[in-house]
Amino acid sequence: MELKSLVKISEYEWEIPRKGSMRVPGRIFASKKLIEEMDEKVREQVTNVACLPGIVRASIAMPDAHWGYGFPIGGVAAFDPDDDGIISVGGVGYDISCGVRSLRTGLKREEVEPVLEELIDALFHTIPAGVGSEGKIKLSISQLDEVLVGGARWAVANGYGEPEDLEYIEEKGCLPGADPKCVSIEAKKRQHRQVGTLGSGNHYLEVQYVAEIYHREAAEAFGLEVGDVVISIHCGSRALGHQIATDYLKVLAKASKKYGIPIKEKELVCAPIRSPEGEQYYRAMACGVNCALANRQVITHLVREVFAEIIPEARITVIYDVSHNTCKVEKHKVNGRVKELYVHRKGATRAWGPGRPELPARYRHVGQPVIIGGSMGTASYILVGTEEGEEKAFGSACHGAGRTMSRHQALKRWRADQIVAELRKKGIIVRAKSKRGLVEEAPEAYKDVIEVVEVAHRAGLAHKVAKLLPMGCIKG
């Protein structure tokens, strides 16, 4: 992206000035280096989103932003339903509620290392992964409807977890407003054997250890110390979320024309929040969120079963579970007034600061944990949300490293055995269902997560708490 098209606000904040049909300016949080690495398409998409009805304050891009469908991945936009605000599939994405859950194990690195290979193999054989992967849970349509309404609460009620898990999941494990009647039979058929599975692409389960602590107070609240072993699970709503997005792109395309909504490209099809079509999409999207929360809850149960066999003294507890492909109804201060807004975060993580009553009591004095996954073989981070971030970006931060190279380019450049060998030299054990999937997710295909996290920290979106380094990983 060319710097000359932007106005520099600070070292880590840049503005696309309002012009033409833009209702608000664009705002990009990035260093000069990250700006120069971004595709020009990011600037174009941020600008197009800024033209949508009812958008509040700014069209925002995070440090890991890259080209996406309609909105950039790493895009954030809030819409006011009282000002003809819209809801958009492109602002949520296909993998609804793709997110990360991090778990404490109650173990130190030196306790796990002697059995690491056995542990990774057991996790790999227990947790289904890969394209079209299916789990042991087979649900009827009516049972799946219960999942879509209940989310992680359904999983716990059916023996897949512990009641205290729910306190440490956003929305306490269940997003209100879900209506399975708004989800197609095709979407449900595709999902009935996929609860409790990782899927493919950039989804993973990783065994990590805490390498550094930056924020002592927050680390203590989150129960983290140097040397602690942590498990991170990155996955979403699988086939159901993808089918919901596919179905509602058609619905919202008709709605855009019906309501005369000016859109800059067809990928931004949308509907007024308070229209029948907008309300239907929100209810279906909420089902997708609940499906993803249930999915990560069942995987947590499977992790507990594996640890019970190999390291019985482990005590698996949830640090936090937060999504990065959602539209949430949230209260934010706008021009001195608290307003209820529909906040779209696509490839962006909710990052609320301290004091929010929705946060777990244990974390409320420091803020919400923000989990940032790195690329395969690199560091991941736990951050904490800030009040400044709520003012600047509706309480949002980055979600990962962000791609710099297409999957097709990665396939031309690396071999699976080469990647596995290089990671093994670093002491990292990798198991993958697909050689192709492994190569597509080569570490060098992504931005430098250290730079991305540093920008989020210095821009005030979220503050660094802990650095996690990988010990082993399973992928689709």
* 374 among annotated binding-site residues: yes
In the residue annotation, 332 being an active-site residue is answered as no
Question: Could you tell me which of 208, 238, 98 has the C-alpha nearest to residue 473?
Answer: 208
* 373 among annotated binding-site residues: yes
Buried-exposed string 187-222: b where 16+ CB fall within 10 A, e elsewhere: bbebbbbbbbbbbbbbbbbbbbbbeebbbeebbebb
What is the bridge-based pairing of β-strands 380-385 and 337-346?
unpaired
Dist CA 237 CA 297 (whole Å): 12
Which of the following is catalytic: 399, 408, 457, 463?
Answer: 399
The length of the chain, given as a count of residues: 476
* 325 among annotated binding-site residues: yes
* 475 among annotated binding-site residues: yes
What is the bridge-based pairing of β-strands 99-108 and 228-235?
antiparallel
* 375 among annotated binding-site residues: yes
* 203 among annotated binding-site residues: yes
* 204 among annotated binding-site residues: yes
Buried-exposed string 250-261: b where 16+ CB fall within 10 A, e elsewhere: ebbbebbeebeb
Amino acid at 246: T
* 95 among annotated binding-site residues: yes
* 66 among annotated binding-site residues: no
Dist CA 292 CA 298 (whole Å): 10
Residue 286 in contact with residue 327, Cβ under 8 Å?
Answer: no
Residue 101, C-beta contacts closer than 8 angstroms, at least 6 positions apart? 169, 232, 233, 296, 299, 300, 318, 320, 321, 371
* 399 among annotated binding-site residues: yes
* 401 among annotated binding-site residues: yes
Please calculate the CA angle 114-119-124 and round it to the nearest 5 degrees: 150
* 376 among annotated binding-site residues: yes
Binding residue numbers: 95, 202-206, 234, 324-325, 373-376, 380, 399-402, 475
- Binding annotation for GMP: 202-206, 324-325, 373-376, 380, 399-402, 475
Q: Enumerate the known binding-site residues for Mn(2+).
A: 95, 203, 234, 324
The catalytic site residues sit at 399
